[in-house]
């Protein structure tokens, strides 16, 4: 049984009145949802509150969930909207992604700096990781969301299209543009006057 099939079975149990089945969905996805929200709200206590609110919204909306998308894709959208609403209420912008230690590691770029952990290589690796994180953080929200769903969460183009409520072609375009922007920042890092060698 795939995760999606298992999720759908749990959703159907919740819809039939078995509230405990929702606890299993929460246990399965709470860490992923919390990490997702932490990309928008850096304060862990706030993020936990928002995650709890998102799961509560999902529970209340579950009777109308038809299974047109995977449960996680649906839950992802609720969590993002809850985080955005929270930020809008506080009238502040999302924090920079340079606080996400996992982000830059998902790019193969770092692999070529791992040969030796000399002080120079450590500095270069850190500089590269920071450059990638800064590049992601500087992207417009729709590009940042698409690239993170693809590279960090590992969602398919179709799942990203459902989560972002846009055509698959738009997702492909956003991911291409995001990668291009990141590549430009990394290329600038290895340009004249930088410590990085070609």
Please report, for the domain that includes residue 129, its CATH number. 1.10.10.10
Cα 101 from Cα 98, distance rounded (Å): 7
Q: Are residues 120 and 84 in the same domain?
A: no
Cα 12 from Cα 141, distance rounded (Å): 34
The answer to whether 168 and 158 are in contact (CB under 8 A) is yes
The answer to whether 137 and 98 are in contact (CB under 8 A) is yes
Q: What is the pLDDT of residue 106?
A: 40
Q: Are residues 73 and 123 in the same domain?
A: no
**Residue whose structure tokens are 């922007």:** 181
Query: What average pLDDT does the segment 32-55 reach?
Result: 87
Contacts of 115 (CB under 8 A, 6+ apart): 121
Radius of gyration of the chain (CA): 19
Q: Are residues 106 and 129 in the same domain?
A: yes
Q: What is the pLDDT of residue 113?
A: 35
Query: What average pLDDT does the segment 5-23 reach?
Result: 89
Cα 115 from Cα 118, distance rounded (Å): 9
Q: Are residues 81 and 108 in the same domain?
A: no
Taking 60 as the threshold, does the pLDDT of residue 102 lie above it? no
Q: Are residues 181 and 114 in the same domain?
A: yes
Q: Are residues 69 and 35 in the same domain?
A: yes
Domains of the chain: total: 2
pLDDT in tens, 45-98: 888 999 999 999 999 999 988 888 889 889 988 998 898 888 888 754 444 444
The CATH number of whichever domain residue 15 belongs to comes to 1.10.1740.10
Cα 156 from Cα 165, distance rounded (Å): 14
Look at residues 75, 90, 105 and tell me which one is the last residue of a structural domain. Answer: 90
Q: Within 13 A of 152's CA, how many CA atoms are on the CB side?
A: 20
Q: Are residues 131 and 158 in the same domain?
A: yes
User: What confidence category does residue 1 fall into, taking pLDDT thresholds of 50, 70 and 90?
Assistant: low
Taking 80 as the threshold, does the pLDDT of residue 14 lie above it? yes
Q: Is there a domain that residue 73 lies in?
A: yes
44-61 and 71-90 helices cross at what angle (nearest 10)?
130
Whole domain around residue 55: which residue ranges?
Answer: 3-90
Q: Is there a domain that residue 23 lies in?
A: yes
Q: Is there a domain that residue 198 lies in?
A: no
Taking 70 as the threshold, does the pLDDT of residue 149 lie above it? yes
Q: Are residues 86 and 101 in the same domain?
A: no
Tokens for 194, please give them.
């930088």
Average pLDDT of the chain to the nearest whole number: 78
Q: Is there a domain that residue 194 lies in?
A: no
The answer to whether 45 and 37 are in contact (CB under 8 A) is no
CA-closest candidate to residue 41, choices 81, 83, 71, 6: 83
Q: DSSP letter at 152? A: T
């Amino acid at each position: 049984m795939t995760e999606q099939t298992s999720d759908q079975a749990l959703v159907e149990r919740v819809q039939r009145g078995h509230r405990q089945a929702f606890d299993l969905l929460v246990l399965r996805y709470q860490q992923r949802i919390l990490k997702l929200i932490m990309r928008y709200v850096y304060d862990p206590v706030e993020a936990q509150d928002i995650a709890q609110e998102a799961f509560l919204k999902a529970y209340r909306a579950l009777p109308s969930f038809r299974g047109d998308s995977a449960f996680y894709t649906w839950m992802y959208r609720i969590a993002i909207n809850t985080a955005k609403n929270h930020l809008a209420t506080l009238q502040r912008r999302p924090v920079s992604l340079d606080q996400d230690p996992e982000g830059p590691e998902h790019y193969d770029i770092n692999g070529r700096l791992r040969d030796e952990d000399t002080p120079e290589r450590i500095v270069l690796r850190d500089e590269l990781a920071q450059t990638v994180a800064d590049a992601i953080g500087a992207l417009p929200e729709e590009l940042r969301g698409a690239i993170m769903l693809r590279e960090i969460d590992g969602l398919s183009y179709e799942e990203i299209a459902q989560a972002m409520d846009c055509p698959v072609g738009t997702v492909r375009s956003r991911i291409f543009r995001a990668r291009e922007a990141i590549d430009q920042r990394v290329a600038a890092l290895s340009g004249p006057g930088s410590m990085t060698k070609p």
